[in-house]
Each structure stands twice: as structure tokens, then as C-alpha cells.
Structure 1
Amino acid sequence: MLLEFIAIIAAGFGLAGIVLSINIALRRRLPQWIVPAAAGAGMLLMAIWLEYSWLDRTTATFPDGVEVASTNQVRSWYRPWTYVVPLTNRLIAVDHRFDRRHADVPGQVLTRVILAGRWEPMRQYGVVFDCNLDRRADLLDEVELDHGGQLKNANWVRLSADDPVMQAACGR
């Protein structure tokens, strides 16, 4: 966050410096308000670029085997440009590097789910998806796996058949 703040300030100074140089080259024919307006425009444009590039910059850091399953797009009245192009501020990814299947229960897959949000810490947790019955169970402290591959004390949550996270985990 601090680095983005520094980048926004630097963009403001940079664009103001370019406009000031142009004004000097034109022998100060531009109005005086143009330099502070350029500084404000540079800061606003940099903030917008940082907001819209967040998803690409975040997913670029993911290793091979991590698949983005779902994103959340928002529109805000205080960001009127988001009505033209919605802003992505959260994502859910499935980390296939941790996929495990039990031989006795081939319709279930244990995997790791990654939750990431703009200005939020990234979270990871284990989930078992039942691909045949369209449900999931989050792996909490009391959940156990018996010898037959069945979960004990699991709280199963029913999902729709077209749930994007389940489809990514099950490989549909």
C-alpha cells in the first residue's frame, strides 16, 4: 500500500513536470492552473491503473497449477468509470498442486482454495469437493478422514451444478 501511494505521488510529480516543461518551451503561454491540474490528473490516472491492473499483477505471481475460478466485479458511484468497465476486486482460485483423491471415493477431490482481495491478505484453506453430489466441505479442526476415504464431522454445503469453483476443482 505504501509503494502504491509513492507511485501515485510520483506519477503526479512526473506529469506535472512534463506539463511544466512544455509550458516553459512554449514561453509560458499555457494557463497557470495547468500544472496542478496535470499533477492531479497524473495521480488519478495512476490510481485507476493500479486498481484495474490488480488482478493481472496478482495472478502473475501465482505458480503453475493455480487456476482462477471466480472473480468479483463491482461498480461504484464514487468511481464513475466502473460503470463503463467494472472493477475486479476479489478472486477465488483453486491450487491444483494440492489435489488429492482417495481410491475408495473417486468422486471427491481434496484441494486448496485461495481467496484474494484488493487491500486484503491472501487466505488459503483446504476443501473437499464431492463432484458427484455437487457439494463441498471446508476442512476445519474437527473434520477427520477415515480409512475408507469418508469425512467424519464434515459440514457439507450444497452447491449448484454450475458453481465455477467446484467446476475448476473437479476438472469439468
Structure 2
Amino acid sequence: MFWNLVATVFAGLGAAGIALAIRSLTRKKAPKWLIPVFAGLGMMAYQVYIEYTWFDHMKSRLPSEAMVVSTQSETTWWRPWSYVLPQITSFTVLDRESIRRQSTSEGEVARFVLYRFRHTYGGRVSEGIHLANCRTGELVPVTDQGMPLTEQMRKLAPDNTLRQAVCR
């Protein structure tokens, strides 16, 4: 967060420098208020850029065995541009190296780890072990003690990216 603040300040200073250059090229005929307006717009533009490139930056840092299986976008009133182009605020990653398949009487069951990345200033990451029944498409999170949380079970569609990756 500190470096993000530093970069934002420098973006504002750079944009203010452009306004100063415009004033000097026009022999001080351009209004003085252009300097703070350019500084504010420069800082805002940098923040918008960082918000929209966050997902691509994080995805590029993932190891080769990681696979993005879902993304979530958000729109908020204090970011009016997000209504035109919603911002990716979180995504889920499958660790393909963690997949363990086992055949049971109910079909093949896969055990794997999912990571959830959320765009916050703390860079929140959560991790969880899950079980998936490949035949029925049921997905169940597992506690740290190895107990399935059946009340949180959900069904995955046959064309779901996670189901296809886990149940090859």
C-alpha cells in the first residue's frame, strides 16, 4: 500500500508538470487551476489503471500448476466507470498439483486445494481443501480436521471450468 501511495503521488506530480508545461507554452495564458485539476486527474487515472490491471498482474505471478477457475466482477457507485467496465475484484485458483482422485461406489471423488484472491489493500488470500464428486458435480469444502461441510455443498454444472479441470 505504501508504494501504491508513492506511485499515486508521483502520477499527480507528473500530471501537474504537464499542466505547468501547458501554462509555459501558452505564456501563462492558460488558467492556474489547470495544475491541481491535472494533478487530481493524474492520480485518479493511476488508481483506475491499478484497479483494472490488478487481476492480470496477480495472474502473471501464479505458478504454472495454478489454474484460474472463476472470476468475480463488481460495480460500485463510487467508481462510476465500473458500470461501463466492471472490475475483477476476486478470483479463484485451482492448484492442479493438489488434485487426488479416488474411485468410490458413488463415482470418482477428487480432493484438491482452491485459493481465493481478493483485491484489497492487504491482498487477502484464503485457501481451502474441497471434495468434488465427478459424477454428480457436488462440491463440498472440507474443514481443517478433514470433515466435509455438507451444509455448504453446491452443484457444479457439467460445463463448469472447475469440474472439467478436476474430473478429467
Q: Indicate yes or no: 2:112 matched with 1:111.
A: yes
TM-score calculated relative to the size of structure 1: 0.85
**1:63 corresponding residue in structure 2:** 63
- Deviations 1:109-137 (CA, angstroms, capped at 9, x unpaired): 11110100011421122112111121123
**Aligned-residue offset at 1:165:** 3.2
Q: Indicate yes or no: 2:154 matched with 1:158.
A: yes
State how far apart, in whole Å, the 2-side matches of 1:15 and 1:141 are. 50
Matched residue type, 2:88: T
State how far apart, in whole Å, the 2-side matches of 1:168 and 1:33 are. 56
Q: Percent identity?
A: 27
**1:149 corresponding residue in structure 2:** none
- Deviations 1:72-108 (CA, angstroms, capped at 9, x unpaired): 1111111111111111101111111211223x44722
Matches within 5 A, 1:4-153: 4-102=4-102, 104-105=103-104, 107-119=108-120, 120-143=123-146, 153=147
State how far apart, in whole Å, the 1-side matches of 2:149 and 2:30 are. 67
**Secondary structure at 1:123's aligned position in 2?**
strand
Matched residue type, 1:131: C
Q: Is the 8 A contact 2:52 2:88 kept in 1?
A: yes
State how far apart, in whole Å, the 2-side matches of 1:134 and 1:89 are. 26
Q: Report the number of matched residues.
A: 161
TM-score calculated relative to the size of structure 2: 0.87
State how far apart, in whole Å, the 2-side matches of 1:56 and 1:170 are. 27
Q: Which runs of 5+ in 2 are unaligned?
A: none
Matched residue type, 1:124: E
**1:167 corresponding residue in structure 2:** 164
Matched residue type, 1:158: R
Matched residue type, 1:67: M
Q: Is the 8 A contact 1:113 1:124 kept in 2?
A: yes
CA RMSD of aligned residues (A): 1.8
- Deviations 1:5-63 (CA, angstroms, capped at 9, x unpaired): 11111100011112212322332121110111000000000010011111101111101
State how far apart, in whole Å, the 1-side matches of 2:156 and 2:60 are. 29
State how far apart, in whole Å, the 2-side matches of 1:110 and 1:88 are. 27
Q: Is the 8 A contact 2:143 2:149 kept in 1?
A: no
